[in-house]
Amino acid sequence: MKAIRKLEKGVGAEYVDLPTPEIAADEVLVKVEATALCKSDVDVYNWTPVVQGLTLPLPITMGHEFMGEVVETGAYVKGLAAGDRVVGETHIPCNHCHVCLAGHPHICANNMGVIGRNIDGSFAEYIKIPEIAAIKMDLPAEQGAVMEPMATALHGLTKGEVSGKTIAVLGCGTIGLMSIELAKIMGAAKVIALSTTDEKLAKASQLGADRVVNGKTEDLVEVIMEETKGQGVDLALEYTGSQTVINQMILSMRTAGTCVMIGMIDKPLTLENYMLKAVYKELVITGIFGRRIYQTWELLKAILETGRIDVSQYVCDTFALADFEKAIKASKSVPGRIILKP
In which band, very low, low, confident or very high, does the pLDDT at 310 lie, cut at 50, 70 and 90?
very high
d(Cα 147, Cα 290) in Å, to the nearest integer? 12
pTM over 0.85: yes
What pLDDT shows up at residue 201? 96
d(Cα 35, Cα 260) in Å, to the nearest integer? 27
Ranges for all domains in the chain classified under CATH 3.90.180.10: 2-150+291-341
pLDDT digits (tens, 9 = 90+) for 206-243: 999 999 999 999 999 999 999 999 999 999 999 999 99
What pLDDT shows up at residue 198? 93
In which band, very low, low, confident or very high, does the pLDDT at 111 lie, cut at 50, 70 and 90?
confident
Reported as half-sphere exposure (CB side, CA atoms, 13 A), residue 170 has a value of: 32
Of the candidates 15, 63, 61, 12, the residue with the CA atom closest to the CA atom of residue 36: 63
> Out of 3.40.50.720, 3.40.50.300, 1.10.10.60, 3.40.1350.10, which CATH number does the structure's domain 160-287 have?
3.40.50.720
d(Cα 64, Cα 98) in Å, to the nearest integer? 26
Fold of 2-150+291-341: Quinone Oxidoreductase; Chain A, domain 1 (3.90.180)
pLDDT digits (tens, 9 = 90+) for 55-84: 899 999 999 999 999 999 999 999 999 999
Element (H, E) at 124: none
Ranges for all domains in the chain classified under CATH 3.40.50.720: 160-287
